[in-house]
Amino acid sequence: MKIIMQDGLPIVTISLTYLGNKICLDNILLDTGCATTIFDTDEVESIGLVIDRANGRAKRMYGVGGESELCYEQIVSDLVIDDYLLDCFPLQLGITKETYGFNGILGVDFMMKSGLIIDFEELLATKRK
């Protein structure tokens, strides 16, 4: 993933595949200070990634300053972010675009599961070799 620095924040563009449906999402924050990965519900609805009220749960996400927003956490299978297959991955869906200005946030959970290495000198995020 190529990293673009915007206002001092690392932003990436990803391809997201779910249930065989694929979209390209730009304006995704690469956030080493965020424990979980979240996508804006409006941005991922077109590929069938929607809130599963029967198998998920409402949860609060907290940002800097203690402000909280309601989101929905659920386990998803067969989710592919770029070339990284995530099976049984806890994912949050919520309103990130309107609230924070991002189409999604890649959190530490994704970085650890995928073995992502962030190189701020080369402005690249790559998989561990």
CATH class of 4-127: mainly beta
Report the predicted TM-score, pTM, of the whole model to 2 decimal places.
Answer: 0.91
Q: Rounded to whole angstroms, how far apart are CA atoms 72 and 5? A: 28
- H or E element at residue 108: helix 108-114
Mean pLDDT throughout 95-123? 94
Residue type (1 letter), 121: E
Residue extents of the structural domains in the chain: 4-127
* Tens-digit pLDDT profile for residues 50-98: 999 888 998 877 665 556 678 899 999 989 999 899 989 999 999 989 8
Q: How far apart are CA 63 and CA 65, in angstroms?
A: 6
pLDDT value at position 67?
60
Q: In the structure, what pLDDT confidence band is assigned to residue 127 with cuts at 50, 70 and 90?
A: confident
Q: What percent of the chain has pLDDT over 70?
A: 94
Q: What are the pLDDT digits (tens) for 59-68?
A: 877 665 556 6
97 closest CA partner among 25, 35, 16 = 25
**What letter does residue 50 receive in the DSSP assignment?**
-
